[in-house]
Amino acid sequence: MDLTLAIVVLLIAISAVFILVWVVVEVPRNRARKTQERIVSELKVGEQIVTVGGVIGKLTYLNLEEDIARIEVAPGVEVRIIPAAISHPLDYLKRLERMEREASRPPAKKQDKR
Q: Of 41, 36, 74, 70, give the one whose Cα is nearest residue 52.
A: 36
Say which residues have a Cβ less than 8 Å from residue 39's Cβ, sequence separation at least 6.
Answer: 86, 88, 89, 92
Query: What gap in Å lies between CA 16 and CA 22, rounded to an integer?
Result: 10
| pLDDT score of 114 | 53
Q: Are residues 66 and 91 in the same domain?
A: yes
pLDDT tens-digit readout, 30-84: 988 888 788 888 889 999 999 999 999 999 999 989 999 999 999 999 999 999 8
Which residue range forms the structural domain that includes residue 23?
Answer: 1-42
* pLDDT over threshold 70, residue 18: yes
For the chain, the domain total comes to: 2
43: left (phi over 0), alpha (psi -120 to 50) or beta: beta
The SS3 of residue 75 is: coil
Note whether residue 94 is domain-resident.
Answer: yes
Alpha-carbon distances of 72 from 66, 76, 105, rounded to whole Å: 19, 7, 37
The SS3 of residue 37 is: helix
* Residue 98 pLDDT class (50, 70, 90 cuts): confident
pLDDT tens-digit readout, 71-86: 999 999 999 999 989 9
The mean of the pLDDT values for the chain is 86
What's the pTM value of the predicted model, to 2 decimals? 0.60
Note whether residue 112 is domain-resident.
Answer: no
